[in-house]
Amino acid sequence: MHRVQRQVEDFDEELRTLAADMTATMYAADGVGLAACQIGVDRAIFVFDCPDDQGVAHQGVVCNPVLYLPEGRDRKLDDAEEGCLSLPGAFIGCARPDYARVTGHGLTGEPVTFEGRGLLARCLQHETDHTLGTVFGDRLSSRARKKLYKQADALAVDYPPEWPAESR
């Protein structure tokens, strides 16, 4: 998961099937987002279903995402807890900008834009990071990263290798 994912070039039935499978996996794992690399597919695509800071749910698919974050005085950090379906059950504080906008392409190649605050901003950043070869643990101090992985190791018994395809 530490490498840039291959750009989506073909907006075809295979891509739509991939997105549907990813969405089903995300829901089965009670997640709010999932990138293709998390299921072993080398494509720059993610799906999400996530509330913003007002509790309004946003759903979508983004291929070839480009992330825009505030700079200067407009940049405010949110140090909320973050988790990842690749480390199920483990959460730790991770400072990220409280607003994010992502542009890219939808399933038919049409331009898409998603933006928001709160958990939605965190999700858009987290999933775009996956397509760029970054996992959220990379954004933590070594001490916090060690704590995160220790927590994930302790919870591993609750999440066998076939999870979430087979429920706990």
Predicted local confidence at residue 161, as pLDDT: 82
The tens place of each residue's pLDDT in the chain, 168 residues long, gives 899 999 999 999 999 999 999 999 999 999 999 999 999 999 999 999 999 999 999 999 999 999 999 999 999 999 999 999 999 999 999 999 999 999 999 999 999 999 999 999 999 999 999 999 999 999 999 999 999 999 999 999 999 888 886 544
Please report the domains of the chain, with CATH numbers, ordered by start residue: 13-158 (3.90.45.10)
Q: Which residues are catalytic?
A: 127
Q: What is the CA radius of gyration of the chain?
A: 15
pLDDT in tens, 24-51: 999 999 999 999 999 999 999 999 999 9
Euclidean distance between CA atoms 136 and 99, whole angstroms: 17
Regarding pTM above 0.85, the answer is yes
pLDDT in tens, 100-115: 999 999 999 999 999 9
CA dist., res. 29 & res. 85, Å (int):
7
